[in-house]
Amino acid sequence: KEFLDAASGLGQQLLLQGRLHGPESLSRELFASALRLADNQGLLDGADLAARRVRFAERVEDVVARVTVIDEIDAATRQEAAGVEP
């Protein structure tokens, strides 16, 4: 509960600073799911914690980069289908 309260507070601050896309990013359930994911990935405690967190962050960054490429391809395809020059 304490962690989720802190995450919610930080999320509110980031939203007010315009660093989040919208209030849906502040869902307590989203934070709880992220915490469960971190636990499932062994990122909350244990030996070599920093290295495991770095590897996980690298995997997430890779997925985000791939999704960005997919989004760019989708946007170009939509423009092409609509007859709009890119």
* Three-class secondary structure assignment of the chain: CHHHHHHHHHHHHHHHCCCCCCHHHHCHHHHHHHHHHHHHCCCCCCCCHHHHHHHHHHHHHHHHHHHHHHHHHHHHHHHHHCCCCC
For position 1, what pLDDT does the model report? 87
Domain with 22 in it: 1-40
Residues of the chain with pLDDT under 50: none
Query: Are 85 and 51 within one domain?
Result: yes
Query: Are 36 and 2 within one domain?
Result: yes
What does the CA dihedral 62, 64, 65, 67 come to, rounded to 10 degrees?
120
For position 18, what pLDDT does the model report? 92
For position 6, what pLDDT does the model report? 92
Query: Are 33 and 62 within one domain?
Result: no
Query: Are 35 and 52 within one domain?
Result: no
For position 44, what pLDDT does the model report? 95
User: How many structural domains compose the chain?
Assistant: 2
For position 21, what pLDDT does the model report? 84
Query: Are 31 and 59 within one domain?
Result: no
For position 17, what pLDDT does the model report? 95
